[in-house]
Amino acid sequence: MSDLTNKKCLPCEGIGKKYTDEEIMAQCKVIHQDWAYDQNRVAIVRTFHFKNYYEVLAFVNAVGWISHQEDHHPTLTVYYDHCEVVYNTHALGGVTENDFICASKVDALIVDD
């Protein structure tokens, strides 16, 4: 688990700057290996797989709680057995530490086999 999990998101206006492409790719290596930098969307992306729709919905609700607590919200695309999570900071038009904080907290929901 990353140290980012213990951090709190800052108001987007208070962050100051978005990360460069190089900083984003380096930071993706710090959090779970399945997070990727999507340069077209200027976002970090991970797909989480589950056994069924019920588990997907439970995951979505847990991500919703994290989003509420951090006041930082991902784009979620929900399918029967998986959910794509996309983080970027719209206010700054890129990826910031807030995105990695939330990604790390979402990762903590999952127990890897």
Q: What is the pLDDT of residue 111?
A: 75
Q: What is the pLDDT of residues 3-52, one digit of tens each?
A: 889 999 888 776 768 999 999 999 999 898 899 999 999 999 999 999 99
Residue 112 has pLDDT above 70, yes or no: no
Q: Which one, of 72, 97, 86, lies nearest residue 16 by Cα?
A: 97
Residue 109 in tokens = 């929901």
Q: Which one, of 33, 10, 40, 36, lies nearest residue 25 by Cα?
A: 36
Whether the CB-CB separation of 27 and 100 falls below 8 Å is answered with yes
Whether the CB-CB separation of 12 and 89 falls below 8 Å is answered with yes
Q: Which ranges constitute the DSSP H helices of the chain? A: 12-15, 21-30, 53-70, 97-107
Q: What is the pLDDT of residue 10?
A: 86
Residue 1 has pLDDT above 60, yes or no: no
Q: What is the pLDDT of residue 2?
A: 63
Residue 99: CB atoms within 10 Å: 26
Q: What is the pLDDT of residues 64-99, one digit of tens each?
A: 999 999 999 999 999 999 999 999 999 899 999 999
Judged by phi (left if over 0) then psi (alpha if -120 to 50, else beta), residue 7 lies in beta
What is d(CA 29, CA 59) in angstroms, rounded to the nearest whole number?
Answer: 23
Q: Which one, of 9, 4, 7, 6, lies nearest residue 72 by Cα?
A: 9
- Per-residue confidence band for 107, with pLDDT thresholds at 50, 70 and 90: very high
Sorted by where each starts, the structural domains of the chain and their CATH numbers stand as: 39-113 (3.30.1360.20)
3-state secondary structure of 37: strand
pTM of the model: 0.93
